């Protein structure tokens, strides 16, 4: 099987032009087939504020009303996505920017209303690996933003980590897939105040201990849950760390294993 790397960036990498440029250079030099997935929540919050639109969050998750969806579509699908694609072209990577609606690549169901109405938020239902592979086989590098569609004309704001893991699972039918979750830290930390206290390996057993000891908390929990789901469903390897880990020149990042 051919290898396929699926890399997700978010947080300060997207916000900081220097960090983004450095990452995209590393990404462009990465050999083999690859897919990039990005968020852009901080930029969306900033632009929404300038437009007088209040960003509402519950448990770290965005409530996406109609106005917010319009901002997210403009920021994720336009400003952030096309900026990344243009920078990749400058690095000789022939990238193509996509939402899940493009080539019907990722369909989602609108999240059902339970205790909280999250609005126009999607839970991934289906990834069209055949169509995505047509782009890869044509030597294009897909760059997905965190927007999917419901198949009935409605765009949906969708968690970028989930998009990453579901793409990886589906593509694992035809590729040996690895996931890299890139952000500003070196990896999952034992001590949040010590940036060098990287936990090198997390498996199912150690994860339970880290949860019990409240070392892994908040937004890191759904990220690692996604990692385990991916590994259980065909993905070969999952890594969490800063952008340098994709070169494997250093070993100061977190590897997730079953």
Any known ligand binding at 91? no
Any known ligand binding at 157? yes
Any known ligand binding at 61? no
The set of residues, in sequence order, having a beta carbon less than 8 Å from that of 124 and lying 6+ positions away, is 106, 107, 108, 148, 158, 162, 163, 166
The set of residues, in sequence order, having a beta carbon less than 8 Å from that of 21 and lying 6+ positions away, is 87
Give the closest residue to 120 by CA, choosing from 128, 112, 129: 112
Q: Quickly tell me which residue has 């968020």 as its tokens.
A: 39
Which helix (H) or strand (E) element contains residue 155?
Answer: strand 155-157
How far, CA to CA in Å, does 163 sit from each of 7, 147, 148, 219?
Answer: 11, 9, 9, 16
Give the tokens for residue 119. Answer: 């609005």
Give the tokens for residue 191. Answer: 């001590």
From its phi and psi, is residue 92 left (phi > 0), alpha (psi between -120 and 50) or beta?
left
The set of residues, in sequence order, having a beta carbon less than 8 Å from that of 93 and lying 6+ positions away, is 24, 27, 28, 141
Any known ligand binding at 62? yes
Known binding residues = 40-41, 62, 157
Known binding residues for substrate = 40-41, 62, 157
């Amino acid at each position: 099987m051919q290898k396929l790397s699926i890399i997700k960036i978010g947080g300060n990498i997207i916000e900081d032009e220097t960090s983004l440029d450095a990452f995209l250079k590393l990404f462009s030099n990465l050999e083999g087939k690859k897919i990039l997935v990005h968020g852009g929540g901080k930029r969306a919050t900033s632009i929404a504020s300038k437009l007088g639109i209040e960003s509402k969050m519950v448990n770290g998750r965005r409530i996406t009303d109609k106005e917010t969806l319009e901002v997210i579509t403009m920021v994720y699908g336009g400003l952030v996505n096309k900026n990344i694609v243009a920078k990749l072209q400058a690095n000789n990577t022939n990238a193509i920017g996509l939402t899940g609606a493009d080539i019907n690549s990722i369909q989602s169901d609108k999240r059902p209303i339970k205790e909280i109405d999250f609005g126009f938020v999607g839970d991934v239902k289906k990834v069209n690996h055949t169509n995505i592979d047509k782009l890869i086989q044509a030597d294009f590098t897909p760059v997905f933003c965190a927007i999917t569609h419901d198949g009935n004309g409605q765009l949906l704001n969708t968690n970028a980590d989930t998009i990453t893991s579901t793409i990886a699972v589906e593509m694992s039918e035809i590729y040996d897939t690895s996931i890299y979750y890139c952000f500003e830290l070196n990896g999952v930390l034992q001590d949040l105040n010590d940036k060098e206290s990287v936990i090198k390996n997390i498996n199912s057993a150690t994860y339970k201990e880290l949860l019990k000891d409240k070392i892994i908390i908040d937004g890191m929990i759904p990220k690692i849950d996604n990692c385990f789901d991916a590994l259980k469903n065909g993905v070969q390897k999952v890594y969490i760390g800063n952008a340098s880990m994709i070169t494997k020149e250093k070993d100061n990042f977190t590897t997730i294993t079953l």
